[in-house]
Amino acid sequence: MADKSLPQLLASYRERKHLLALLKEIQEVYGYLPGEFIPEIARSLGLPVAEVYGVGTFYSFLSARLQGRNVIRVCKSAPCWLKNCELIVETLKRELGIGPGETTRDGRFSLQLTNCIGACDQAPAMMINDTTYVDLTPEKIPEILGGYK
């Protein structure tokens, strides 16, 4: 899966302003930000280790823990809550055998709860990776999950 090595990635992001973009690509390639990369990134960009770690742990789309190949983010904010997102979460828990914050043993899915993803007019909604699924019902879940390897 790791089609780009760290030195290759570091070579394409040379400036301080690229730190976030670099971390996002590492996340995409490796599924998380491996701790041992942090000092190397810091050296490469001439930044304190604490700053790289600080940015890497700030954003919700970056993770210091290994994530599944597919990350499910179920919206739990008010408009989705009013449309019973809890039922969607329950269905996902049953289908995947994991709870929010966990990853399936086969590494196929991670399940997370998230704040508003801007699909309130089609609630309840969730994202899998970059795709947003709307107007969810428990019946739709197995088929949606089936589309991911």
List residues near other proteins by CB under 8 A: 16-21, 23-24, 51, 54-55, 58-62, 77-79, 81-82, 114-123, 127, 130-132
The least CB distance from residue 66 to other proteins, in Å, is 18
E strands present in the chain: 70-75, 109-114, 126-128, 131-133
Q: 19 or 96: whose CB is closer to other proteins?
A: 19
Peptide bond into 138 cis (omega under 30): no
Q: What angle do CA 87, 90, 96 make, to 5 degrees?
A: 140
Of the pair 97, 147, the CB lying nearest other proteins is at 147
| Residue 25 or 95 with smaller CB distance to other proteins | 25
* Length of the chain as a residue count: 149
